[in-house]
Amino acid sequence: MTAAPPVKKRRALLVGALLLAAVGIGVLVARRDAAEGPRCGAGFVAGPNARCCEAGVKGTCTTRAPVPTRVAIPRAAFLLVASDWEASYQVAPLVVATAPFWIDAYELTAEDPADPGRAAGDLTVGHARARCGVRGGRLPTSAEWVAAAAYRPGNGTGEPPKTIDKATRYPWGETGAVCRRGAFGLVHGPCAEIATAGPDTVGAHPDGATEAGLQDVAGNVAEWVDGVDGPELRGGSYTTAFAADLRLWAVTHAPTGGVRCAYDAPR
Could you give the 3-state DSSP secondary structure of residue 239?
coil
pLDDT value at residue 23:
35
pLDDT at 65 over 70: yes
Could you give the 3-state DSSP secondary structure of residue 256?
coil
How many alpha carbons lie under 13 Å from residue 59 in its C-beta half-sphere? 2
Selection from 239, 200, 215, 187 nearest residue 45 by Cα? 200
Q: What is the pTM of this model?
A: 0.84
User: How far is residue 66 from each of residues 70, 118, 123, 126, 215, measured CA to CA in Å?
Assistant: 12, 10, 19, 24, 11
For the segment 127-147, the average pLDDT, to the nearest whole number, is: 98
User: How far is residue 110 from each of residues 63, 65, 115, measured CA to CA in Å?
Assistant: 12, 10, 8
Greater confidence (33 vs 41) lies with 41
- Arithmetic mean of pLDDT over the chain: 85
Query: What is the set of domains in the chain, with CATH numbers?
Result: 9-264 (3.90.1580)
CB 40 within 8 A of CB 205: yes
